[in-house]
Amino acid sequence: MAATVEHAPTAATVQGVDIFRTEHLRKAFKTPDGAELLVLDDVNMHLGEGEILVLLGRSGSGKSTLLRMLAGLVSSSGGVALHRGQPITGPVPGLAMVFQSFALLPWLTVLQNVELGLEALKVPAAERRARAIAAIDLIGLDGFESAYPRELSGGMRQRVGFARALVINPDVLLMDEPFSALDVLTAETMRTDLLDLWTERKIPTRGILLVSHNIEEAVLMADRIIILGSNPGRIVNEMRINLPHPRNRESQDFRDLVEDIYGVMTARPVGRDASRKQVPGIGLRLPSLSVNALAGLLEELDALEKSNANTRISLPDLAEDMHFSVDDLFPLIEGVELLGFAQVEDGDIMLLPAGRIFVDGSLQERKQLFARHLTERVPLVARIRAVLDERFNHRAPDSRFLTELEDHLSEEEARRVLDTAIDWGRYAEVYAYDDNAEVFSLDNPEAEE
Amino acid sequence: MALNLPPLPLPVPNRRDLIALPLVIALFFIIAHAGREMAVPFHLGDDLSISLSPLALPEYGLYTVLRMLAALVVSFVFTLGYAWLAAHNRYAERILIPALDVLQSVPILGYLSITVTGFMALFPGSLVGVQLAVIFAVFTSQAWNMTFSLYQSLKTVPRDLHEAATLYRLNAWQRFWKVELPFAMPGLLWNTMMSMSGGWFFVVASEAITVSDQTVTVPGIGSYIAAAIAHKDLAAIGWAIAAMIVIILAYDTLLFRPIVAWADKFKFEMTASSETPRSVVLDFLRRTRLLKLLAVVPARLWELSVQLTPKVPVRRASGNARQHRRLADAVFYAALSVLALWAVVRLLQLLPRDFGWPMVWHVLGLGLITGLKVFVLVALSALVWVPIGVWIGLRPRWAEKVQPLAQFLAAFPANLLFPLFVVVIVHWHLNVDVFTAPLMILGSMWYILFSVVGAAAAIPTDMREAAQNLGLRGWLLWKRLYLPGIFPGFVTGAITASGGAWNASIVAEVVSWGDKTLVATGLGAYISQTTAKGQTAQIALGVGVMSLLVILTNRLVWHRLYDLAQRRVRLD
């Protein structure tokens, strides 16, 4: 079967040229009133031949945006992005992508989904079918050719996603958190299966770029990890993983690497970013967290502290203990740090005195403590309260603060941050909010109706 | 580019083929026959005599059905083109979508006289022109709704599907048929069914109309009814109603149910739902052997189109695309504003010259009267149908049976029932203005009923249990749970009902029985009477005022209520 002939990109055979290379790549979005919001800044990276590169970062680090810029789906706002030495201007043949949400077409059968990319390449029907069936076999889906995606489990669906990507014999495989929508066991099986295909060279793919927020996944799969910081996304660290495959999660080397990365990812950007001093202003990105979740974390820390008789708790242990992924855990940590209830150092977290008082306090004491920390440490909340105090009727529409926030944040992000401020402020009884009228006030809710 | 497709092995026909094949072949013959009959010679003034014998009804019914089918096909094609263009070209979008919004508000029966004259001029000496005018009227009653639905779906195709399509380099043709249209299918189909049920009303109303003092008829159920009214034949009206019931049920069973059952796979959900729509007809067709081969035709056509449409070229850097766009924007908006300004100036010049302001005010006054009637009627229907709808919706077993019945009643062309009301009004000498009014809402109030039943049935059981547990009863229960719960459904139904009432006013404000004609005060009567006299300028004024009022009420009342329903009282 002369399957690979018709589109093996000529550039792919050029040796010594990186598959992807970026220089000072940046991406900014325009806010409605014309201000620029920087999502990615000064990204210099490359993906070499025969390499698995993992882009590791928290949500908001722009890692998915970077992947889409390399895929030619999103345009850059500056800098250089090259694919095989050519500037990226749009999707290039030989690129395949696996999506977090699978992005399968529910009205097509497994076979038709896999054939989709070949149809676009105008591969004749008979050859198309043969190649699709071969890809389906390769990925372990034989027997499901005529099933519709909705009949399959999550793992099987993502296998269809892989088959659809691999059937076009891609030069590069781009993966956008492909395992994060799967349960733990399924995800692990899929990772090993993919690594097997890769290490045994059963697929012609010459490079894999994986976007992930899962530290262990990164250490398990990567030849090299690039860690992206948040707001704006920029490369904060890069490390080579030299452990031989198959890697053992329980080995000391593996665990040390995971600890190191936790440390890098939770390090406060102050030291590293001294050049660009960040004053936590009104545009501070409050994590979307309920007060209950914050309180839950503090209580858990207190419990762990007591049972371990150690005030320092390692973040990997905490994640394991609470069955949290990085994306669940990091916003929480950010939240308790922001409010001055706990502190992170070198990948360890410890309760601060205020956090201990909060854990031991009654409902009213908690509220009062929370209110004090909130007005002292969150400029947005302080600003809302100040405006309300100033006004003679003690009322202000939320649009007033929203426009102010939009100077610093995207429209969507501004709304999200304001919603968090509303939630926290309501809990702490710093102010009241009427959702129907979209107005902040100092009203006592009991006084109404 | 040869198509290397394997030759088709012909299977042995099974028993179902033996039933289905003759039926399919017969269907082709019937359509061919009717097509010939529909194009008979005709001149304005000719009297096509309509037989009132019940035996003539099957043939008349067939013609009506075929007109509906033709209109449906035209609407569908129009929808695909218009919505695609609006969704993919930002300049087209700025013009096409507002235009659609206005078109949606124009009363369909208002401009029938203009289109009839136009189409007859296109096909002189043949009935084809009138046929096309009727089909066009039905088309205008369906197409706008369907187009909106498709446009909205095209704009909401999930981002990752778009990205996958772009990355795997699907061209626009493949993208439309493989990604966009399937995604839009459930919504489009639902809208098509709803538009179709409105269409029956218009096909019946437009099959016999009076233009410039001449009655133009095409053979069909509508003209049968018109003849029965002229001859005061109550029995014939009964027959026509019976025939219509059969036709609508047959349409549902033979066309829509199979399509809905087939289209279930397009639902954009990843969980296998427990309830899938089934159709006996579809199951039957799927189990045939020989007939199933017909499915190969679209597959091969698709294959051919894939080979013929070009591959997506690799995009090359385009220098200053952003600047180009800004320039194009400027030119576009400048041209648009000049055009709009010119239109306003012309209108202000023309209006007083043709009519004089007193006339304009008079028509506006008539419009307000009709508007008031519509408002009161919707309110009254709400008073009646909301409690009944909630009662039924809370009882699943009832809801199951009433829902299709209400849908059927909404589809049933209420104008067939007008004569029955007129007989009563004439006999008892009732007030014409008051007692013809209910005719306007007769066809469309059912939308309120079935929206409310649907919404009430969707109130989560745990909420009802919680209310029960808290001891909520009587008015408190309605105020706190039922009314907010059904509010979004009610608004949807009421919008449709009020739109339908505006449209129906044109035929409902002037009704007749034999030589007796009842005329109510209102804009509908004004449009209807100027149409009969062939006063084009006055028709335009009447239609213009009605469109304006419909747009205003939509903007000021219905859209706001709809937004409120969407934001505040969603139950999810």
Q: What is the DSSP string of B195-218?
A: HHHHHHHHHHHHSEEEETTEEEE-
Residue A225: pLDDT over 90: yes
Strand pairing class (A51-57; A224-229): parallel
Percent of chain A surpassing pLDDT 90 = 36
| Residue ranges with strand state E in A58-128 | 78-83, 86-87, 95-98
| Band of residue B103 on the pLDDT scale cut at 50, 70, 90 | confident
What rounded mean pLDDT belongs to chain A?
85
State the pLDDT at residue B570.
59
**Bigger pLDDT: B325 vs B304:** B304
CA distance A444 to chain B (A): 23
Residue of B nearest to A173 (CA): B167
Judging contacts by C-beta atoms under 8 Å, the chain B residues touching residue A121 are 169, 311
Tell me if residue B436 falls in helix, strand or coil. coil
The tokens describing A124, both together, are: 């004749």
Among candidate residues A435, A174, A383, A217, the one with its CA nearest the CA of residue B160: A174
CA distance B158 to chain A (A): 9
**Between the CA of residue A306 and those of A360, A399, B525, what are the distances in Å?**
13, 46, 85
**Bigger pLDDT: B401 vs B2:** B401
Q: Cβ of A106 and B265 within 8 Å?
A: yes
Tell me if residue A150 falls in helix, strand or coil. helix
Q: What is the pLDDT of residues B170-185, one digit of tens each?
A: 888 999 999 999 999 9
Mean of pLDDT values over A369-390: 91
Mean of pLDDT values over A365-388: 91
Judging contacts by C-beta atoms under 8 Å, the chain B residues touching residue A72 are 167, 315
The sign of the torsion formed by the CA atoms of A53, A59, A65, A71 equals positive
Q: Would you list which residues of chain B are within 8 Å, Cβ to Cβ, of chain A?
A: 3-6, 158, 160-161, 163-164, 166-171, 174, 178-179, 182, 185, 265-272, 303, 306-307, 311-312, 314-318, 568
State the pLDDT at residue A271.
42
Mean of pLDDT values over B37-47: 68
Interface test with A, best of B8, B270, B480, B570 (most A CBs within 10 A): B270
Whether A111 and A132 have beta carbons less than 8 Å apart is answered as: yes
State the pLDDT at residue B272.
57
Q: How far apart are CA B132 and CA B162, in angstroms?
A: 39
The tokens describing B256, both together, are: 């829509």
From the number of C-beta atoms within 10 Å of its C-beta (0-12, 13-18, 19+), residue A141 rates as buried
Q: Cβ of A151 and B317 within 8 Å?
A: no
Q: What is the pLDDT of residues B457-483, one digit of tens each?
A: 888 888 888 888 888 888 888 888 888
The tokens describing B544, both together, are: 């213009």
3-state helix, strand, coil in chain A (%, to 5): 45, 20, 35
Interface test with A, best of B5, B166, B169 (most A CBs within 10 A): B169
Most confident residue range from A405-414, B17-26, B110-119, B188-197 = B188-197
Mean of pLDDT values over B215-239: 87
State the pLDDT at residue A67.
93
Q: How far apart are CA B224 and CA B204, in angstroms?
A: 9
Residue A1: pLDDT over 70: no
State the pLDDT at residue A269.
57
Query: Which residues sit opposite A440 in a β-bridge?
Result: A396, A433
Following CA atoms A358, A361, A366, A372 in sequence, which dihedral angle do they give, to the nearest 10 degrees? -60
Q: Does A322 touch chain B (CB under 8 A)?
A: no
Most confident residue range from B38-47, B320-329, B523-532 = B523-532
Whether B444 and B504 have beta carbons less than 8 Å apart is answered as: yes
Q: What is the pLDDT of residues A362-374, one digit of tens each?
A: 999 999 999 999 9
Residue B270: pLDDT over 90: no
First vs last C-alpha separation in chain B: 52
State the pLDDT at residue B386.
94
CA distance B80 to chain A (A): 19
Tell me if residue A29 falls in helix, strand or coil. strand
Phi, psi dihedrals of residue A349, rounded to the nearest 5°: -120, 145
Q: Cβ of A97 and B317 within 8 Å?
A: no
Residue A11: pLDDT over 50: no
Q: What is the pLDDT of residues A42-89, one digit of tens each?
A: 999 999 999 999 999 887 788 999 999 999 888 888 889 999 888 888
Q: Cβ of B163 and A105 within 8 Å?
A: no
Burial A277-309 (b: 16+ CB within 10 A, else e): eeeeebbbbbbebebebbbebbebbbebbeeee
State the pLDDT at residue A132.
94
Q: How many residues does chain B have?
A: 572
Residue of B nearest to A174 (CA): B167
Q: How far apart are CA B198 and CA A247, in angstroms?
A: 66
**Between the CA of residue B351 and those of A166, A200, B245, B358, B360, what are the distances in Å?**
67, 81, 45, 11, 8
Q: How far apart are CA B58 and CA B240, in angstroms?
A: 10
State the pLDDT at residue A327.
72
The arrangement of strands across the sheet holding A432-434 comes to: A395-397, A439-441, A432-434
State the pLDDT at residue B379.
94
State the pLDDT at residue B320.
57
| Band of residue A384 on the pLDDT scale cut at 50, 70, 90 | very high
CA distance B550 to chain A (A): 28
Q: Does A386 touch chain B (CB under 8 A)?
A: no
What rounded mean pLDDT belongs to chain B?
83
Q: Cβ of A119 and B174 within 8 Å?
A: yes
Q: Does A437 touch chain B (CB under 8 A)?
A: no
The tokens describing A114, both together, are: 């896999």
State the pLDDT at residue B348.
78
Whether A166 and A96 have beta carbons less than 8 Å apart is answered as: yes
| Band of residue A175 on the pLDDT scale cut at 50, 70, 90 | very high
Which of A71, A125, A148 is closest, CB to CB, to B4? A125
Among candidate residues A57, A64, A26, the one with its CA nearest the CA of residue A264: A57
Phi, psi dihedrals of residue A44, rounded to the nearest 5°: -115, 110
State the pLDDT at residue A130.
94
**Bigger pLDDT: B8 vs A247:** A247
Residue of B nearest to A91 (CA): B167
CA distance A254 to chain B (A): 34
State the pLDDT at residue A221.
93
From the number of C-beta atoms within 10 Å of its C-beta (0-12, 13-18, 19+), residue A275 rates as exposed
Among candidate residues B552, B545, B553, B501, the one with its CA nearest the CA of residue B527: B545
Q: Which amino acid is at B402?
A: V
| Band of residue A448 on the pLDDT scale cut at 50, 70, 90 | very low
Mean of pLDDT values over A338-353: 87
Mean of pLDDT values over B274-297: 75
Mean of pLDDT values over B88-94: 87
Residue corresponding to tokens 């000049």: B338
**Between the CA of residue B543 and those of A9, B353, B383, what are the distances in Å?**
62, 18, 30
State the pLDDT at residue A238.
92
Mean of pLDDT values over A285-293: 88
Among candidate residues A347, A359, A388, the one with its CA nearest the CA of residue A263: A347
State the pLDDT at residue B421.
85
| Band of residue B9 on the pLDDT scale cut at 50, 70, 90 | low
State the pLDDT at residue A449.
39
Q: Does A103 touch chain B (CB under 8 A)?
A: yes
Which of A105, A124, A126 is closest, CB to CB, to B161? A105
All residues at 6 or more sequence positions from A349 whose CB lies less than 8 Å from its CB, including other chains: A301, A312, A313, A315, A318, A333, A342, A343
CA distance B315 to chain A (A): 5
